[in-house]
A and B are shown apart, each in its own frame.
Chain A
Amino acid sequence: MSRDGERTDPGAGSVRKAPRLWAGRAATAAMVATVVLVVAGALLYDVVAVRAGQPARRWRAQVADELATRHLDDVWVLLGAGVSVLLGGWLLWLAITPGLRRWLVLRPYGGTDAAIERAGIGHLLADRAAGLRGIDHLRIRVGRRRVRVSVSGPVDPAVVQRQLREELGRVGLARPLRLDVRSWRGAAGGVADGAPDQPDDRAGEAAG
């Protein structure tokens, strides 16, 4: 497993486990807080005004009237409930999921945590592949767990696989990506798998 052992000394900080990135959700939270603030503030103002002897504002009487007259099978009520379900589900999703899917965590080094943009990994791989001869078309998709590369032309997929794995090892991800290279060999039309003799990419990457 020495094929990507470029950097086997990740430094003193590597004993620390790389934390997963969690988005702050600041913008959405601020928006929700503003809406709640406006609605609750208006209601509070009106309730206090009514308690102090003023008549209720028109909007509140109107809302109360609509709520009391429209039945549950009214189109607008159903539409509103549908929107409420979608919005609520989206907010819950934002609350639960980590977010920041564009970023992959690198191995921490000392007191520095780092993350790299997935598109950046794609650029590095494309740049490396550009140095190979015999590639007519190249497509690289960097996912969060694996990189899918499809390549066409007379090039040997195993070579592409080896080169790109080396480049991927150079990135230094905390959780290494799997690398799948598929090849469409021009006119022959056959689909060849890049590395049939390497069933476990992760083992190789983790050793690096």
Chain B
Amino acid sequence: MKTCLIVDDSAVIRKVARRILEGMNFKVAEAEDGAKALVQCSDAMPDVILLDWNMPEMDGYDFLRALRQSPSGGSPKVLFCTTENDVGAIARALHAGADEYIMKPFDRDIVSAKLEQVGFPAQANAA
């Protein structure tokens, strides 16, 4: 089973995203900011990270830059999932190492489509 770490300071967003991802056969873990997410990644690197931008302690952008510089930090597919929806923010995220970008609000179809684009078609995640 593929693993996904949801990094978002909103418990509501984490709950909604968890429901969507578990419905797609992902094993889901959660972190409420970038600093906690980095610790979790050092313990067990997930296959996919769904990453908010604005969070306390360490925001998504700084988390991503730190992740990509860490050992094995290049392997997870990172999907930014944020209300920062302007072109400049998207370009910055890609430059920092994001693989895809989800603009909030999102729904299951968007998450599914974006995961497929980074190599995780819905029906294949149980393998």
**Bind each other:** no
